[in-house]
Amino acid sequence: MNTIKWLYVAVLLIQFSAVGVGAAETTTNGFWHSVHPVYQFSWANSKERLDYQSCGCADNCWTAKIYDTSVRKERLKLELHCDCESMHLSIAGGKPIKYLDSCAAFQGENKNEAIQDEIRKIQSCYIIK
C-alpha cells in the first residue's frame, strides 16, 4: 500500500512540473502563476492599460502594471508591487527598487483608487518612455 501512495505522489509531481507550476515562473504577460486572476482596471489614458493581480496576504500582496498599448507589441511601462511588507517600483522593465516601506496606505475599500493615484503620481514625477 505504501508503494502505491508514493507512486501516486510521484505521478502528481510529474504532472505539476509538466504544466509549469513553479514559484519562480511567470506567464507570458509577466504575472506570476496564481490562482488569483488578472484584472484590468479602468484607466483614463486610452494608450495605456492597467492590469492588477493579487497574490495573497490579504491587501498586502499585489502587482499593478501599466502597459503601453499604442505600439504594435504591448510594452511594460511601469510596475508597482507590494510583497506583503514593502512596495517596489520598476520602470520600463528595469530592476525593481524599494519604493515604500509599507503597503498600509493601499489597504481597505479605496485600494483601487489609491493604486491608481500612486501610479499617476509616479508618472507625473518620472519621464517614462
The pLDDT confidence band at residue 16, using thresholds 50, 70 and 90, is: very low
Taking the complete model, does pTM exceed 0.75, yes or no?
no
Please give the full DSSP string across 60-83, using - where no structure is assigned.
Answer: GEEEEEEEE-SSSS-EEEEEEEEE
Residue matched to cell numbers 524599494 = 98
- All three cell numbers of 65, joined, read 502594471
How do residues 80-102 score in pLDDT, each as one tens digit? 999 989 999 999 989 999 999 99
